[in-house]
Amino acid sequence: MSAGKWENNEEIQIFQEYLRIPSVHPDIDYNSCVEFIKRQAESLKLPVEVVYPAVKSKPVVIIKWLGKEPELPTIILNSHMDVVPVFPEMWTHEPFSADIDEEGRIFARGTQDMKSVGTQYLGAIRLLKASGFQPKRTLYVTFVPDEEIGGQLGMAEFVKTDYYKHMNVGFSLDEGATSERDVHHLFFAERLRWGLKLHVSGTSGHGSLLLPNTAGVKLNYVLNKLTKFRSSQVETLARDSSLSVGDVTTVNLTQLSGGVQSNVVPPHFEAVFDMRIAITVDVVAFEKQIRDWCEEAGGGIEIDFFRKEPYIGPTKLDSSNPYWLAFKAAIDELGLKVHPIVCPGATDSRFIREKGTPAIGFSPITNTTMRLHDHDEFLQADVYLKGIEVYKKIIRNLAEVSQTDKQ
């Protein structure tokens, strides 16, 4: 199919319009996204509200489809409006052009992560409304800011508001991940995000001497311990092909600073580590191990966990969760393959789960080269349109979960 024929498709046109809004970090102006979503709500004849849970520059946009039984717990269909930075010189198409090539590939930042999901929800609702469907449960389509930088002024604050409390959320659907095979990745849990900064102090002096207790030697000791632990996680993955990276703990040195001159032993080094803790880890014991290593190194190391997310239980994927049963029934009826995994990164679902509400991450993107946060991010037009049909079935099933089912 030619690029011109794809571009004449209304759903593709809506998707392209959203992609062409450069809601890219840093310093995003979300106003264009808000106005776009308002227009979509108007076309669907659904009410829309904008709330500011933290600051005026960080809006949350909520489209509401009232259910026949509004007293029932509601369903959230969530996506984020922001996208990560781009390096235009590395792209073969302008990153916010939403160009379609002759193969039907739509190129733009956000095609996979995750503007596609936001407009696919709307496309699915458009089809459901056209068929005369009226949901039993109220549906909320939420568009949130700042997920790509942690969501602290977005979903993290939104779930604390009275507005969210009054929504009476029973279940949330959010982003999953691109799959290069015909199997969809489904997130039911997320690793804990920890950020560790070590301030290492030691003896300073001339670079020609073998001074005791230098900051460099201490840091090297701790770094070797963390590297050995990291290697054990690599080996665990290599031994068991059923595991994914979300099942192990990752530790990476991401920043290193200190020193003033090549022949001066500095009195101080700083090292920053990104850690993603597996949900099976005893976090108390893990933190104690890190502190013990710092003492073994000779002391004089200030430990700063500048980010330490709490343990949040996974969403149950069994008969105790009626929303999972409804989701699984839709997937089975569509003949799709799904592989539940722990999300290796972090999404806004963790803030929903922290409230005790089940949440699943799912993006209907298969047989697609993964370009999340990469150059030349793209999505096939036919994959996008198929995703709308997938969400149509999933949303219908979720909205019809009976009040007699266990909540």
Whole-number pLDDT of residue 114: 97
Of 49, 84, 42, the C-alpha closest to 158 is 49
**pLDDT over 70 at 402, yes or no:** yes
The phi and psi torsions of 239 (rounded to 5 degrees) equal -75, -30
Burial-class residue 138 by CB neighbours within 10 Å (0-12, 13-18, 19+): buried
Across 1-10, 35-44, 64-73, least confident range: 1-10
DSSP state of 364: -
Rounded CA-CA distance 187/64 in Å is 25
**pLDDT over 80 at 407, yes or no:** no
Domain ranges of the chain: 3-175+363-399, 192-308
Whole-number pLDDT of residue 5: 78
Whole-number pLDDT of residue 185: 94
Confidence band of 6 (pLDDT split at 50, 70, 90):
confident
User: For this structure, is 82 an active site residue?
Assistant: yes
* Residue in 11, 99, 147, 348 annotated catalytic: 147
Rounded CA-CA distance 34/54 in Å is 16
CATH architecture of residue range(s) 3-175+363-399: 3-Layer(aba) Sandwich (3.40)
**What mean pLDDT is predicted for residues 103-111?**
97
CA 80 to chain centre: 9
Under 8 Å between Cβ of 271 and 280: no
For the segment 342-388, what is each residue's pLDDT rounded down to a tens digit? 999 899 999 999 999 999 999 999 999 999 999 999 999 999 999 99
User: For this structure, is 147 an active site residue?
Assistant: yes
**pLDDT over 70 at 28, yes or no:** yes
Full-model pTM = 0.93
* Residue in 11, 82, 113, 174 annotated catalytic: 82
* 3-state SS assignment for residue 313: coil
Which CATH class, in words, describes the domain spanning 192-308? alpha beta
For the segment 161-211, what is each residue's pLDDT rounded down to a tens digit? 999 999 999 999 999 999 999 999 999 999 999 999 999 999 999 999 999
Rounded CA-CA distance 115/94 in Å is 17
Pairing of strands 268-277, 250-258: antiparallel
CA 9 to chain centre: 29
Of 39, 43, 47, 42, the C-alpha closest to 17 is 39
Percentage above 70 pLDDT, the chain: 98
Across 3-7, 32-36, 225-229, least confident range: 3-7
Whole-number pLDDT of residue 11: 98
Instruction: State the chain's mean pLDDT as an integer.
Output: 96
**What mean pLDDT is predicted for residues 258-267?**
97
For the segment 114-172, what is each residue's pLDDT rounded down to a tens digit? 999 999 999 999 999 999 999 999 999 999 999 999 999 999 999 999 999 999 999 99
